Amino acid sequence: MKIFIAGASGAIGSELVPQLVARGHEVVGTTRSVAKTDALRALGAEPVVVDALDPDAVADAVARAEPEVIVHQLTALSGPADFRHAKRTFEATNRLRTEGTDHLLAAGRAVGVRTFVAQSNSLWMERAGAPVVDEDARLEPAPPADAVPLVAALRHLEEAVTGIGWADGIAIRYGGFYGPGTDLSAAPDAVLTDGVRRRRFPIIGSGAGVWSMVHISDAAAATVAAIERGKPGIYHVADDEPAAVREWLPYLADTLGAKPPRRVPAWLVRMLAGDFAVDMMTRAPGISSEKAKRELGWTLRFPSWRTGFASGL
Q: What is the CATH number for 20?
A: 3.40.50.720
Residue range of the domain that includes 230? 2-182+213-239+287-302
pLDDT tens sequence across 12-49: 999 999 999 999 999 999 999 999 999 999 999 999 99
Indicate whether 203 belongs to any domain: no
pLDDT tens sequence across 254-312: 999 999 999 999 999 999 989 999 999 999 999 999 999 999 999 999 999 999 999 98
Indicate whether 248 belongs to any domain: no
Amino acid identity for residue 239 in this structure:
D
Nearest to 289 by CA among 126, 123, 128, 173: 173
Indicate whether 73 belongs to any domain: yes
Indicate whether 279 belongs to any domain: no
Q: Report residue 79 CA to chain centroid gap.
A: 15
Q: In whole angstroms, what is the distance from residue 39 CA to residue 36 CA?
A: 5
Q: In whole angstroms, what is the distance from residue 57 CA to residue 63 CA?
A: 10
CB 209 within 8 A of CB 283: yes
Q: In whole angstroms, what is the distance from residue 35 CA to residue 24 CA?
A: 26
Indicate whether 32 belongs to any domain: yes
Indicate whether 56 belongs to any domain: yes
Q: Name the domain count of the chain.
A: 1
CB 126 within 8 A of CB 142: no
The conformational region for residue 203 under phi > 0 = left, psi -120 to 50 = alpha, else beta, is beta
Indicate whether 188 belongs to any domain: no
Indicate whether 120 belongs to any domain: yes
pTM above 0.75, yes or no: yes
pLDDT tens sequence across 102-130: 999 999 999 999 999 999 999 999 998 89
